[in-house]
Amino acid sequence: MIRKSKVTDGTAAGQVGIKKKSKVPGVMITQFIETLPEGKSHPDFTRKPIALTIQEGKFAFFKAIVIGDPTPTVTWSRNNGDVSDTSRYQSKYDSLSNEHTFEMPNVAPDQADTYKCFATNEYGQATVTVVLNVIEVGFKKNKAQKQAADAIEGDFKSVLKRKSKVQPKSEQPEKKEGEIDPKFWELLISADKKDYEGICAEFGVTDYRWMLKKLNEMKKEREEEQAQFVKSLSNLRPIQVNADGTASFEIDMDLIEQSSSIFLYKDGEMIPYTKELGDKLKHSLKKTGKKYIFSMRDLMPEDAGLYQLDVEDVNMFSTDFKIPMVDFLVKIQEVKAKEREDAVFECVLSNPFAKILWFGKNVPLEQGDKYDIEVSEDKLIHRLVVKDCMVADKGIYCACAGIKSCSAWLVIEADKDAPKGKKTARKTTRAGGSGQDLQKIAQEQQAKLEKEKEERKEQMKASEEAAPPPAAPTDTPVVAAASKPSSHPPVVEAPTTGHSPEETSGSEMLNQPLAYAEPEITSGLSDIYALRGKSAELQVKMNIDSDGTWFKDGKQLNSGAGMTITKDGNSHELRIQSCSDESSGVYQFTSGEHSTQGKVTVGDVPEFDPDDLHKFSKPVIVRVGQNAAFKMPFPPQESLEVNWFKDGTKLKDGGGVKIVRERNHSRLLFRDCLRIDTGEIKIQLKNPFGAIEATSKLIVLDRPGPPEGPVKTVETTSSIIEIKWDPPKDDGGSAVTNYTIERQQTGQSLWTKLGDVSADKTSFRDRNVTHGKKYNYRIYAENPEGISDALETAESILAGIMILAGPPGAPTVVSASKTCINLTWTPPEDDKGVPIIGYQVEKRKKDTNEWMPLNAVNEPIEDIKYAVKDITEGSEYEFRVTAINESGSGDPSPPSEMVCAKNPNMRPCFKDPEDFIVVRAGNSARVKICFEAEPPPQITWLKDDEKISAWINIINTEGTSQLVIPNSKRSDSAIYTIKAKNSVGEASFDIELRVTDEPKVPGPVELEQTVHGKLVISWAPSPDQELDDRLHYMVSQHDSLNRVWKTIADRLFTNTYTASNILSGTEYHFRIYAKNDMGLSDPSPSPTWGTNINKVPVTSNGIISTEVSFERPPSILVPLKVHTPPKGYQLFMTCAVRGYPAPTVSWYLNDICINSDNNYYITNSFGVCSLYILQVRSKDSGEYKVVAVNSFGKAECSAKIFVRD
């Protein structure tokens, strides 16, 4: 937003300059008078000139349309040169279109510049800028060489005609005493208000009123300048160091003209940059949307300085990059933490540093629920605590101090004991740390810094004594020594003097001598806070001896009634003997036309109730995981600040800490307390009159920490092992009651409890040991809260002296291949009386000296043979073996013979090949054959003993060969032969490839009965019969009695079939299917065969029979029985059937006819029907049914078969 401000340029005497906003972007309007007459207006542009890029020698022009009443006068100018030459510049006006034109015929390269157009009338002026770029025609060698030389030998400002307001150090004039560095104002314009105090302290500015007034004026001017080129500026982030070792600052900037030039400066000197970090240059400026990010890499101490970003000739942002002289004495170390455990990174700096930057996986980390950032009182020790670690927290963490950084890994071990699907409980332990005594290192460094500080003081004192005494000062400078002012006015406990410098006229008057013709106030009043019942003083100093009057809240004051007014030369004092509530008010001192005032506020230091203080001082004792709460009442007061501290560190609300502030009390809550939360708790009440503190203590009880190690071996003999340890560093808040000792024999998994010892004894003697064996020990500390984690021996302890086994026999190579070498060896001849528990195998590669173990000593090989698989094909190795007993590994065996890791020579052989493959026509056919051979064989494929055609693909890989036919046809059916041949021999194998398709339907079906009870079925062959020698036929039957289709014949390679048991008076239907390796064709149906159709007549030869008729329907004489045969056994089933004519008997399994199934042997001998199964299978279980049918009826019986496994 463009703000109004008064200007001095472009206005006549007595006029004002009021900035106005135009509807056209980039137009700046100055109104000369505050109120315009009715009907009058200041100038404005309705159409502004447009930036132009044109070729040398062309006709260049700018056009503009202006409005205003009275009609404005339009003039043109350029930044670097004049436009008075009418042969090169012509201004024209078209009254019809109201267009003002600025023409440049035959434009030349030297006319490239920034031009300005002014529209002026008696009420104001409108200004707009436009850029002309001229493209030179051809390449002018001499000029190019001159420009290159200027760019190399000169500086960037002389070439580009660009200058920064902050001059380089080499060009800065000698600074006068009291003069303020221009860098001070540049930093203030771009800084947040919260940073003003620090910047003023750095540059020694103490007159804040004058500073703020001057800064507001400069900000208005800067915003007006910026409005010519940008629409908005926001999100100004100062420069800081990143986790990847680069430094960067950011700014959101919306440019009016995207072609505007952007420049970067460091300490007033222009610096080149690229658009992407990582190119050859050190600096880069990357644009993403409206965001501009400046970055620089390879940081060095000389990179410190003031960095500025300008658009054209206007500064947009300034930031100071400070590189403190600090380094890491102790760097952060890798931390291995268990899941749900806290992890700690800590470091020590060489110089005090208030706050360093922490990064986790390149993301800045802040204090909160997940992270605790801690700093010691001396600001040398910095600590990051990653709370409640999860697997997702693993990664690289980094600490940055200035341009120095160090990083380390956080490794999270998953909790294998956690139940699946459930979250484990949070652990109370911490992992990590530097492993060093950081406090000791910090104290040593602090002492070193103090010593250096004293040495510098001595040097300064010596130089001051050697220097001549300075002349008496003749002025009162505004700029004082840099000191950080207090956030509150001073509290008066003894007589005090307020002061407030008056506004000065600027830095140009700082060094003028004090020579006043009239009385002036040199030291005025300021606001103070006075304690009730104490005295207070107000003091004013004048430049000359003069009289003055004191007022309080507008009423004149005189000495008396507890108030004394004195005058001592130039100094005037007002003393309040005993301050009370009536003493509060605004005090004013007046001398002539000059006056100064200050406010006096009377009050008391905060107080605690004695009973509440006594109650608060009692320690709060809780167990780990519980909440701890502190509450402190206090009288309600205004401007009361409440702070909580733990061990001297101020607590913040967040994470496991909750701070509640009410009007008359404050509460502190620790959630889920850990052992590390134990410490001194302090509450501080602070107001402008002073502060008061109350102290308590938080004790968190937990099981003790593990005993301090390492475990020391006091004595070891063939029958005794005595060990010793130190008490735990942390007893968990309550005294250790006893220690528990456990033992494990090396090589075994069982831990055995040996006993307990009292807390005052930190040693144990184990008398039950075996000579030559090794043992591990665990020691636990116990207190009323529980048992600690174990302290375990770092190495096994040997009972007595070490007895090692002799060397085994040299390993023998049983077999060798490219992936495995099999070894065997003999045990040592002398085991020294100690049993051997296993062996260790080592390998050595040819032309190397290093023996590499193939198994660890604690993972011995129990057998005397081993398959070595960690080898490289083609390499040569030798091996040796070491015997292992309870004392460890003995002497190694002699090495084996050198053996090469390669397969032995062998004749080619094929692995489980298929000899018959069926493929549907049109699909790709693949014949894959696996083989073994050494050396690799030569592969040849043949088709019907002839070479295969070129369009058949052969793909050979190690141990495999494939024949691929992309689009197979029936003509590809053949016998394919693969031949493999190497130096050892050769082998071949035949594969029959059948390319076929589903068969076509057979021809018409004919039925003919030549014998009673039999029917001849014949059909025309399928069109595919001649193409497929494996094609056959299947016949299905359906009759009016069963009404179910059943297969009566299969695998028929002829075109006829004789159906038997054809009954008179029954209708029959038949279907003929063509069948091959791909499946069935559609059926070819037969004509219906029914009663008296094509019957064979039966002649009686004229004999009349008077015999008795025996015809009867079928009946079951002996039914089937239930059987439960074991799997694989034989089964024999029988039943008896009678009927006349002799019935046709059919067998069914689960309602499926099995008469034609070759797995069953079925007989019918004069009505005794039998079924025989040679080996019973599981699928033979089910319901078996016998159906007997003749022309008079049907009979059936059934039984179930259960096959046992």
H or E, element range at 1049 = strand 1046-1052
Alpha-carbon span 970 to 957, nearest angstrom? 28
- Per the CB < 8 A criterion, the answer to whether 250 and 240 are in contact is no
Alpha-carbon span 113 to 82, nearest angstrom? 11
Res 243: pLDDT: 66
Residue length of the chain: 1205
Alpha-carbon span 484 to 187, nearest angstrom? 17
Instruction: Indicate the DSSP class of residue 844.
Output: E
- Per the CB < 8 A criterion, the answer to whether 525 and 598 are in contact is yes
Q: Residue 1047 burial by CB count (10 A; 0-12/13-18/19+): exposed, middle or buried?
A: middle
Per-position DSSP letters for 1104-1142, written without gaps between them = PP-PPP--EEEEEEE----B-PBTTS-EEEEEEEEEESP
H or E, element range at 455 = helix 438-466
Which segments of the chain have a pLDDT < 70?
1-17, 138-179, 243, 275-281, 420-422, 463-518, 1091-1109
Alpha-carbon span 132 to 130, nearest angstrom? 7
713 φ/ψ angles, rounded to the nearest 5 degrees: -90, 110
Alpha-carbon span 1174 to 406, nearest angstrom? 82
Strand partners, 320: 306
List CB contacts of 215: < 8 A, sequence separation 6 or more: 185, 188, 189
Res 492: pLDDT: 40
Alpha-carbon span 351 to 379, nearest angstrom? 8
Alpha-carbon span 283 to 303, nearest angstrom? 11
- Per the CB < 8 A criterion, the answer to whether 362 and 243 are in contact is yes
List CB contacts of 1156: < 8 A, sequence separation 6 or more: 1047, 1048, 1049, 1050
What is the C-alpha end-to-end distance of the chain, expressed in Å? 93
H or E, element range at 452 = helix 438-466
- Per the CB < 8 A criterion, the answer to whether 296 and 246 are in contact is yes
Helices 208-226 and 196-203: angle between axes, nearest 10 degrees: 110
Res 509: pLDDT: 36
Res 964: pLDDT: 93
- Around 164, how many Cα atoms within 13 Å sit in the side-chain half-sphere? 30
Is the backbone of residue 363 left (phi > 0), alpha (psi -120 to 50) or beta?
Answer: beta
Reference 700, options 626, 760, 642, 629; nearest CA is 626
Query: Please, what is the Cα angle at 377 between 622 and 427, to 5 degrees?
Result: 35
- Around 7, how many Cα atoms within 13 Å sit in the side-chain half-sphere? 22
Instruction: Indicate the DSSP class of residue 268.
Output: T
Considering just the CA atoms, what is the radius of gyration of the chain in Å? 54
Res 978: pLDDT: 93
Alpha-carbon span 190 to 11, nearest angstrom? 30
Helices (H) and strands (E) in the chain, counts: 7, 88
Alpha-carbon span 643 to 84, nearest angstrom? 72
pLDDT tens for residues 669-725? 998 888 888 999 999 998 888 899 999 999 999 999 999 989 999 988 878 999 999
Reference 276, options 285, 268, 267; nearest CA is 285
- Per the CB < 8 A criterion, the answer to whether 534 and 528 are in contact is no
Locate 610 and state its tokens.
């004695």
Locate 999 and state its tokens.
């068969």
Alpha-carbon span 220 to 203, nearest angstrom? 23
Predicted model pTM: 0.34
Q: Residue 1111 burial by CB count (10 A; 0-12/13-18/19+): exposed, middle or buried?
A: exposed
- Per the CB < 8 A criterion, the answer to whether 596 and 628 are in contact is no
Locate 915 and state its tokens.
């000899």
The residue behind tokens 């059919």 is 1146
Locate 931 and state its tokens.
């083989």
CA distances from 263 to 168, 285, 720, 956 (A): 15, 10, 82, 65
Locate 336 and state its tokens.
């291995």
The SS3 assignment for 1148 reads strand
Distance, C-alpha 853 to centroid of its chain: 38
- Around 211, how many Cα atoms within 13 Å sit in the side-chain half-sphere? 23
List CB contacts of 1202: < 8 A, sequence separation 6 or more: 1122, 1123, 1124, 1181
Reference 1085, options 1075, 1067, 1070, 1068; nearest CA is 1070
List CB contacts of 1075: < 8 A, sequence separation 6 or more: 999, 1031, 1032, 1033, 1034, 1050, 1051, 1081
